Amino acid sequence: MKRYIKLIGVTAFVGLMLYVTEACNNTAATYQGGKLPQTVSYNFDIRPILSDKCFACHGPDENKREGGLRLDTEEAAYAALKENPNAFPVVPGKPEASHVFLRITTADSSLLMPPPASHLKLSPYEIQLIEKWIRQGARYEKHWAFIPPVKTEVPEVKDQDWPQNEIDYFILQKMEDNNLSPNKEADKERLLKRLSLDLLGLPPTIEMMDEFLADDSPDAYEKMVDRLLQLPAYGEKMALHWLDLARYADSHGYQDDGYRTQWPWRDWVIHAFNTNMPYDTFVTWQLAGDLLPEPTKEHLLATGFNRNHKITEEGGVIPEEYRFMYVADRTDLLGKGLLGITMECAQCHDHKYDPFSQKEYYQLYAFFNNIKEVGIESVIGGPETYAKKPLMEISNEDVQSILRFINKPDTNNLIVSIMGEPDTVRKTHVLIRGNYETFGEEVAPGTPASILPFDSSKYTPNRLGLAGWLFDKSNPLTSRVYTNILWQEFFGRGIVKTAGDFGMQGELPSHPALLDWLAADFMEHDWDIKRFVKQMVMTATYRQSAIVTKEKLATDPENIYLARGPRYRIHAEFIRDVVLASSGLLNTSIGGPSVKPYQPEGLWEGATSGRGLLSIYVQDHGEKLYRRGMYTLIKRTVPPPTMGIFDASNRDICEVTRLKTNTPLQALVMMNDPTVLEAARVLAASLLKEDSDQEEKIAKAFRRIVARKPTAKEVTILKDYYTSQLLSIDEQSAAKMLEVGEYPIDSSIEKKKLAAFMRVVATIYNMEETITKT
Amino acid sequence: MEKDMLEHGFSWNRRRFLSALSLGVGSVALGSLLMPDLFKNGSMADDDLVPGIPHFAPKAKRVIYLFQNGAPSQQELFDYKPKLREMRGIEIPDSVRGNQRLTGMTAHQASFPLVGSFVDFKQYGQSRAWVSDLMPYTAKIVDDLCFIKSMYTEAINHDPALTFLQTGAQVGNRPSMGAWLSYGLGNENKNLPNFTVLLSRGVGNGQGVYSKLWSNGFLDSVHQGVQFSKGEDPVLYLRDPEGMSRKERREMLDKLAELNHLSYQEMGDPEIAAKVQQYEMAYRMQTAVPDVMDLSKEPDDIVKLYGPDCLVPGTYAANCLLARKLSENGVRFVQLYHQGWDQHGNLPYEIEQQAKDTDQASAALVTDLKQRGLLDETLVIWGGEFGRTSYTQGRLTADNYGRDHHPRCFTIWMAGGGIKPGVVYGETDEFGYNIASNPVHVHDFQATVLHQLGLDHEKLIYKHLGRRYRLTDVSGTVVKDIIA
């Protein structure tokens, strides 16, 4: 009865329900809408079906295998059935003789596969695919991501006018295959906002908007791209994803969670992006700067990358247990962050899905095992504990010479944890069941053979050699993984959606040929990051309007085929930046020690052991209240609350993809966070002092915050709101309302007027579009 | 027009909107009128499931899960093993231990001497269930409880084990049980989050809780668990700024909804509609949360029942009382986590403190629900993420020992929600190391919970990017024997 009533309630939206239902049946394998591919690919067409519907009982897991049959390897699938030596699961070229095919098509439900009790069912399309695959020879393939990328020809498309560069051909071809056509180019205001958020993490200024709107030249957009790429805020924007990947934070993590001064490393990352350091150099320095011939202090600082992990300060722990965890953390980061593989699965046993043995895990681990470090160096204490050995000191002379990019505000001693090796090499063993004290066979540094064997004639068996191996042109993963991460930053979704897992359990790429083309092109152009970024934002794909029609929402709700521009809520840090920048409060200085802006009381105090600099939240004042979001101090056990609410990483481990949730808590932040309210007050005050009428003031606030001119309707709504608030607010409430934040209140403005307009501005801050790349 | 579908939705809403205005409903939640909530559930999952509607008549409507984080030792609480006392100090036989993998914490131990409970056990109630002297209040309500002594899991470390119990998988960003239920059953109360999380911490060795434990995974974020904390702002940023009345907040939200509506008309992005919903929810939470969090009006008999700690925000007792109030107000899934049960060492002292902090309030919650006639429709669950070893970790001294993680057996209890009361289900061997009868896997347990809420665990499916996901992953059997 209940069900019936609900269904009536939604009758008006049956159409929508239908297309939503249909949308979720579109798996990677069935998306083609019934059109069988000319050549059926094991990797893209067949393995997803087998993996999804067969491997659970007929896959690599011996313990779960039914009837002794496995279908995940060629040998087993071609071999005679255990139960019946005359029958074969798969006979290449002959579906009618293949028992797999017979069992998935039989009318006898007691024989039918998958068994009806499993609630799994093959669609007619899937059955046809399997049939065609067997007929074409039932060829198994190596996992796609382990084959080096090859730059294929740019595909043919019908609409020759649309593409701006090579990327667009790949995108358009997929669109055309799926009967989709691209959106028009976004209007200039929205395009500029998107670009500015993507390249700077900041909204465009009014001057930039005016200039761009006035520039009718055909290369107006490109000129803007080039200009933004040169601004120092570009380095800050680009650094953010790397800080997530490198699990950068300002505390040691674990129990007492004491303060650390790793921020000079963060300043270096910003500097590296701003100077457009090639990706191979960027990573090589971070992995092995200390092993370079005659390393400079900058090289050493870069290796802080591998010391950003959590380090215990808890007395009484077993040092070796923690040292093991640090080494494992670096190994896992290399896997997930740089190679896009879930290496950690092989810590205790051979990988369940991917062809990595436990031994290979420890061979990779061996690269990071030879560090002059201990599991616990000191318990929580003073400035001498802010970095752990090996460490470097940064003097004021350094900051005036080689490390000029470091924003060192005082003359205090400054130390940073970095990498460094002892004189004698520490032996590495396979650790049985991942246990740091049960040694198995001794292993030498090495890499998973299925990715690319470690050629010791070419590379020395240390981190520097590992960096060489990573950037070997035949390494199939490094370039794919990083271009995919950047793609995800700009388009909201990776070409491989699981940016940290390119293995068997990861998602298949939506545009495999494009990914390979990009990966190969990125390598060919010497890992030039700015070039790649420009290549992406110059595409017609990127420049499309984000308007979504019901048809597109139906066929492609996730915008996999990019037949519309990316539209996403921006990262937590950039929300703060938009608020501060548009209000005029933003402090644009770069780098330096992290800061402590407004935060609800008691959060640190409620979760502390009472020891150390970070046991009590001592809020900063003045200019430090208005730094960009990326400079907010991250105490790992109690990360900044507004950041977490908007899905920022807690920097516990390497993270390459942030969620994009939409929750009531986010609404509460935008409504009531003093940062937003103070910005609203300050912007309102500055506009009220301008010589303009109320509509102009509203329009200007709107432009600064939303980065476009408001429509007449929007102005009317906001003006009505202003008028009503001006009437309803009394002197006392107005005064209270204004008392938010530490920025001085402009006493020359009438309080009621200011409070009323502050509400208007706060409302604009709360618009969905404000914090959305649109 | 290209957006005629959306327009269709809106014209319907616009009519309602206009009629609402014509009726002069000034303070009506405009946002909820402007934006349909049909996007809420994301994609439809399966032919068998219309989200928000059970598969069959449910026994329970709501769940309160008292998660004892860190894994309480069954040997000192509910699983009575006199043999372990007799064999104190004697090596656990290899035949018993088998090939059980060990955590990094005991794998290096040269010897594994058995150790019995330092505390005595007695039998209680009609069910004659054994309960240790550490749990006097729970002992009094054993006839309301169903003990499962034969729970087992696959993980041996906290993070994966917690994640497994909560999401059905040890790794990966899957939806938590509360998110699944929110998705499967919808909302009873539009003013409170459907899935709420309350944290407390005992003095024992603690293991962290992580927000991924109450993640919505790939389900829509409306199903995400919302953490309620102690203090003036139980939910961060809940309070409006000084000088802003509720009426004024309403006006602001109405204007905001109008602006967002314009944007929705232009862009067609369902996220905009979802955003408006989140603001409406936030607005309702601003009233509903302080109301429900206010424990000052609780009568003396309730305070007495839960114990004086229940008036101290952030304690387990206060959270149990809050859990009852939230549940009573229709919150589908209230998840408590109480930290401090990880007794690798110093077990006798720590577990006694942990028990003191939790025993009375856990029992009180069951009693309170029962006296309100709510126990029948509320499923209460008490338990940790795995058990603890029968042998000691670290040194065994006259009055001290520890126990390491043990996945092969542990004890939980359930009450209400159509579960048989006064039952002890499953047995472990005399060493308390292996299961002797009626094993219950984590997925069996999850299947049973879903079943009590009217959901078939094999049909509560969400297809995400080509793969079907279930809370119970690919296994699980409903434990029919414990269903009333």
Secondary structure (DSSP) of A448-467: -TTT----TTTS-SSHHHHH
pLDDT at res. B272: 94
Q: A616 touching B, CB under 8 A? A: no
Extract the tokens encoding A233. Answer: 């805020």
Distance from CA of B131 to the nearest CA of A (A): 33
pLDDT at res. A607: 59
Chain B residue numbers touching A772 (CB-CB < 8 A): 271
Chain A residue numbers touching B262 (CB-CB < 8 A): 711, 713-714
- Sequence-distant (6+) residues with CB within 8 A of A681 are A738, A740, A741, A743, A745, A754, A758, A761
pLDDT at res. B106: 75
Chain A residue numbers touching B226 (CB-CB < 8 A): 663-665
Provide φ and ψ at A416, rounded to 5°.
-135, 135
Nearest CA in chain B to A431: B104
Which of B211, B279, B135, B146 is CA-nearest to residue A668? Answer: B279
- A42 HSE (CA, 13 A, CB side): 17
If you write DSSP's letter for every residue of B340-355 in order, what string do you get? ----SS-HHHHHHHHH
Confidence of residue B382 (pLDDT cuts 50, 70, 90): very high
Q: How would you classify the pairing of strands A568-569 and A772-773?
A: antiparallel
Question: How far is residue A629's CA from residue A683's CA, in Å, rounded to a whole number?
Answer: 19
Chain A residue numbers touching B45 (CB-CB < 8 A): 24
Mean pLDDT on B454-460: 93
User: B18-46: b or e for each residue (b if 16 or more CB lie within 10 Å)?
Assistant: eeeeeeeeeebbbbbbbbbbbbbbbbbbb
Confidence of residue B28 (pLDDT cuts 50, 70, 90): very low
Q: A723 touching B, CB under 8 A? A: no
Q: Are the Cβ atoms of A546 and B269 closer than 8 angstroms? A: yes
Q: 3-state class of B21 per DSSP?
A: helix
**For testing contact with chain A, the best of B203, B229, B237 (most A CBs within 10 A):** B237
Q: 3-state class of A393 per DSSP?
A: strand
Nearest CA in chain B to A21: B44
Q: Are the Cβ atoms of A737 and B474 closer than 8 angstroms? A: no
CA A703 to the chain's CA centroid:
29
Q: Could you report the predicted ipTM of this complex, rounded to two decimals?
A: 0.89
Q: Which of residues 302-331 of A touch B (CB under 8 A)?
A: 321, 324
Chain A residue numbers touching B255 (CB-CB < 8 A): 717-718, 720-721, 763
**For testing contact with chain A, the best of B269, B280, B473 (most A CBs within 10 A):** B269
Contact predicate B379/B414, CB 8 Å: yes
Q: Are the Cβ atoms of B237 and A668 closer than 8 angstroms? A: yes
Q: A747 touching B, CB under 8 A? A: no
Q: How would you classify the pairing of strands A439-443 and A568-569?
A: unpaired
Residues in chain B: 484
Extract the tokens encoding A258. Answer: 């004491």
Q: Are the Cβ atoms of A766 and B256 closer than 8 angstroms? A: yes
Query: Over pLDDT 90: what percentage of chain B?
Result: 63
pLDDT at res. B51: 62
Classify the C-alpha dihedral B145-B149-B155-B159 as positive or negative. Answer: positive
Mean pLDDT on B388-393: 95
Q: Which 8-state DSSP code applies to residue A339?
A: I
Q: Which 8-state DSSP code applies to residue B412?
A: E
Provide φ and ψ at A428, rounded to 5°.
-120, 135
Beta-bridge partners for B467: B464
Question: How far is residue A617's CA from residue A346's CA, in Å, rounded to a whole number?
Answer: 40
Q: Is the pLDDT assigned to residue B5 strictly greater than 50? A: no
Neighbour count for residue B456 (Cβ, 10 Å):
19
Q: B312 touching A, CB under 8 A? A: no
Extract the tokens encoding B90. Answer: 């004697």
Q: Which 8-state DSSP code applies to residue B74?
A: G
Q: A713 touching B, CB under 8 A? A: yes
Chain B residue numbers touching A2 (CB-CB < 8 A): 53
Q: Are the Cβ atoms of A671 and B282 closer than 8 angstroms? A: yes
Lowest mean pLDDT among A35-39, B19-23, B304-308, B327-331: B19-23
Extended strands (E) in B69-210: 121-124, 129-132, 145-152, 195-201
Nearest CA in chain B to A568: B271
Surface-to-core class of residue B233, CB atoms within 10 Å of its CB (0-12 exposed, 13-18 middle, 19+ buried): middle
Beta-bridge partners for B121: B132
Chain B residue numbers touching A767 (CB-CB < 8 A): 256, 259-260, 263
Of A549, A606, A672, nearest to B240 by CB-CB distance is A672
Chain B residue numbers touching A431 (CB-CB < 8 A): none
Extract the tokens encoding B96. Answer: 């018993």
Lowest mean pLDDT among A721-730, B104-113, B125-134: B104-113
Axis crossing angle, helix A572-583 with helix A674-688, rounded to the nearest 10:
20
Q: A29 touching B, CB under 8 A? A: yes
Mean pLDDT on B453-462: 92
Q: Are the Cβ atoms of A663 and B50 closer than 8 angstroms? A: no
Residues with pLDDT less than 70, chain A: 1-34, 60-64, 255, 315-317, 345, 351-353, 606-610
- Sequence-distant (6+) residues with CB within 8 A of B88 are B113, B114, B115, B116, B396
Lowest mean pLDDT among A42-56, A413-427, B214-228, B399-413: B214-228
Contact predicate B325/B264, CB 8 Å: no
**For testing contact with chain B, the best of A579, A663, A673, A751 (most B CBs within 10 A):** A663
Residue with tokens 């070419």: A458
Of A661, A740, A767, nearest to B224 by CB-CB distance is A661
Q: Is the pLDDT assigned to residue B45 strictly greater than 50? A: no
Question: How far is residue A284's CA from residue A114's CA, in Å, rounded to a whole number?
Answer: 49
Which of A733, A744, A620, A763 is CA-nearest to residue A682? Answer: A744
CA B136 to the chain's CA centroid:
24
Q: B420 touching A, CB under 8 A? A: no
Q: Is the pLDDT assigned to residue B33 strictly greater than 50? A: no
Lowest mean pLDDT among A156-160, A580-584, B186-190, B195-199: B186-190
Amino acid (one-letter) located at B2: E
Q: What is the pLDDT of residues A570-629, one digit of tens each?
A: 999 999 999 999 999 999 999 999 999 999 887 787 656 567 889 899 999 999 999 999
Nearest CA in chain B to A741: B241
- Sequence-distant (6+) residues with CB within 8 A of A505 are A342, A353, A354
Which of B336, B299, B296, B301 is CA-nearest to residue B319? Answer: B336
pLDDT at res. A29: 36
Q: How would you classify the pairing of strands B226-228 and B62-68?
A: unpaired
Angle formed at CA B439 by CA B437 and CA B445, multiple of 5 degrees: 145
CA A324 to the chain's CA centroid:
27
Q: What is the residue-averaged pLDDT of chain B?
A: 85
Q: How would you classify the pairing of strands B435-437 and B145-152?
A: unpaired
pLDDT at res. A64: 67
Nearest CA in chain B to A497: B465
Extract the tokens encoding A458. Answer: 């070419």
Confidence of residue B266 (pLDDT cuts 50, 70, 90): very high
Contact predicate A327/A369, CB 8 Å: yes
Q: How would you classify the pairing of strands A428-431 and B378-383?
A: unpaired
- Sequence-distant (6+) residues with CB within 8 A of B480 are none
Confidence of residue B217 (pLDDT cuts 50, 70, 90): confident
Surface-to-core class of residue B258, CB atoms within 10 Å of its CB (0-12 exposed, 13-18 middle, 19+ buried): buried
Q: Which of residues 44-83 of B touch A (CB under 8 A)?
A: 44-45, 50, 52-53
Neighbour count for residue A442 (Cβ, 10 Å):
11
Q: A645 touching B, CB under 8 A? A: yes
Q: B281 touching A, CB under 8 A? A: yes
Residue with tokens 């002092």: A689
